[in-house]
Amino acid sequence: MINRLAVFGATGDLTARYLLPALAALRAAGHLGDQMQLTGASREDWTTEQYRQWIADQLDRHGGSCPSGARKAIAASARYVRADATDPTDLAAAIAGDGPVAVYLALPPAVFPRTVAALHEARLPAGSRIVLEKPFGENLAGAQELNRLLADLVPEQAVFRVDHFLAMTTVQNVLGSRLANRVLEPLWNSTHIAEVDIIWDETLALEGRAGYYDQVGALKDMLQNHLLQLLCLVAMEPPISLGERDLRDRKLDVLRSVRLLTEHDVVHRTRRARYLPGTIGGRDIPAYADEEGVDPHRGTETFAEVELELDSWRWAGTTFRLRSGKALQENRMEVAVRFRSVPHLPFGHSGAALPNVLRFTLEPEGLTLDLTAIGSHAHELVPLSLTARMEPPGLPAYGRLLLDVLTGDPALSIRGDEAEAAWRVVEPVLSAWEKGLVPLEEYPAGSQGPEPRQWPGAAAVARTCSSVKDVPDETQ
């Protein structure tokens, strides 16, 4: 286990909201001892005392569920180094110390290549590990260049490309439900499954993060990484083990099987949009274009939807729809697996047999199965939903990830070839969007997103259903 963690970007939102509470949770659970040292490095002109106070304040705000002893221990273990993460001398000062160090780049993604290049000169101790946040690179060429820089610095096993969705208990349970039970896997193919919706809709708007988000947008912020990783877990062949090689090989197979979209496909099977003024939960939200720090001419999307097909024996004929949007009416974070309708109904026509939908709800954690049953009147078919709520996770996702980094298990991080394969899926969309082939639609903040399209090819997109009652019945 590595006992030194150096965080660059140590005064940022990620550090405050996720990394510090995760460290406190690890400490509270007994995973971190007194020997653990945290170095916070950023460009602010702070002292260690100021930084410790900042940590205490952030843990009060975001880590309130952790015992105060654990929070105090994390603050006391910290030292602050003022450092430009692109300067080799500054980097060397921040990672100075005995033994290997885990270097966490909690930085804007545009800074990663310069920091990794500078780390070459900063003399990283043997056995050190590097953690990079998402998105990994800004496009395929950027990811390839970053992979080359990293390969010259440390072995692949020491590179942790973070996707914290993979460490979420509910996301892990997509695999748990599939592979620890007999009932699902025989049906887990295109013969039985018509569509899969992988959705991360949130009520949160920009929340002051224009500096990062306006450069990135929904496609690169959510679909290129988190939602494609979810697709991998839903669609992968059962791995021999959940060890890093087996798991990541099988995920790579899924990414390689995605049929790359042509420009025609992008026009007909993707959407992008941004929010207009509106109200969410009684809060007035300005138009995205008017949010502070946004360049309205950049045309950054706050809503992205992409429909994919997989060229594989198991999945040919199933549609996978990935969607994420900000400033929407309600939080809806789920994987909804929609089964095909039954081939024959011996019940006459009273009521409809709705397609079964299995939903993995990611926040809050749960599982729902929509079935059809016979109601109190003979031959009347009624919907029946079975819902299970799961225990809250023992460790937050970032706690699990940090533990994996410190103990050296990269299974839940993205391998270099996976990161490139994910960009290969997204590049045709980015390129057609940049050419203006897909219009930037608009939706009021607090709405369900852009209106369904009116042209005939939009049927599949419009079929995205918010509840089982909205699902068209194929048997009619």
Q: Name the residues that contact ligand NDP, by CB under 6 A.
A: 8-9, 11-14, 17, 42-44, 84-86, 106-109, 111, 133-134, 211-212
Count the Cβ atoms, other than its own, within 10 Å of residue 314: 17
Identify which of residues 61 and 435 has a Cβ nearer to ligand NDP in the complex: 61
Minimum CB distance to ligand NDP smaller for 10 or for 367 = 10
Q: Which two tokens stand for residue 340?
A: 């095909």
Supply the minimum distance, in Å, between the C-beta of residue 5 and ligand NDP.
Answer: 15
Considering the complex, state which of residue 83 and residue 367 has its C-beta at the smaller distance from ligand NDP: 83
CA distances from 11 to 17, 163, 358, 430 (A): 10, 20, 41, 31
Catalytic member of 164, 192, 226, 344? 226
9 versus 416: smaller Cβ distance to ligand NDP: 9
3-state secondary structure (DSSP) of residue 27: helix
Residue 338 CB, nearest approach to ligand NDP (Å): 29
Count of helices and strands (H, E) across the chain: 15, 17
Q: Which amino acid, one-letter code, is at 177? A: S
CB of 260 to ligand NDP, least distance (A): 25
Using the structure block, give the residue that is written with the tokens 């748990």: 176
C-beta separation of 42 from 12 below 8 A: yes
What b/e readout covers 106-119, taking b as 16+ CB neighbours within 10 angstroms? Answer: bbebebbbebbbbb
Smallest gap from residue 237 Cβ to ligand NDP (A): 29
Which of 86/466 has CB closer to ligand NDP?
A: 86
**Closer residue to ligand NDP (CB): 102 or 107:** 107
Length of the chain (residues): 476
Tell me, yes or no, if 120 is annotated catalytic: no
Residue number with CB closer to ligand NDP (405 or 471): 405
Nearest by Cα to 272 from 445, 139, 138, 442 = 442
Q: Give the nearest distance from C-beta 357 to ligand NDP in angstroms.
A: 29
CB atoms near residue 288 (< 10 Å):
26
Nearer to ligand NDP, 122 or 261 (CB): 122
Contacts 24+ apart (CB under 8 A), 237-243: 237/314, 238/178, 238/179, 238/185, 242/175, 242/411, 243/411
Q: Which is nearer to ligand NDP, 324 or 356 (CB)?
A: 324
Cβ–Cβ under 8 Å, residues 108 and 133: no
How many CB atoms within 10 Å of residue 92? 16
- Alpha helices (runs of H) in 81-237, residue ranges in sequence order: 88-95, 112-121, 140-151, 169-179, 210-218, 228-235
CA 59 to chain centre: 23
Closest residue to bound ligand NDP by CB:
12
- For the residues of 124-142, what is the DSSP string, one character each? PPTT-EEEE-SSSSSSHHH
Q: Select from 433, 95, 88, 121 the least CA-distant residue to 270.
A: 433
> Per 3-state DSSP, what percentage of the chain is helix, strand, and coil (rounded to 5)?
40, 20, 40
Peptide bond into 364 cis (omega under 30): yes
Cβ 53 vs Cβ 20: under 8 Å: no
Active site residues: 226
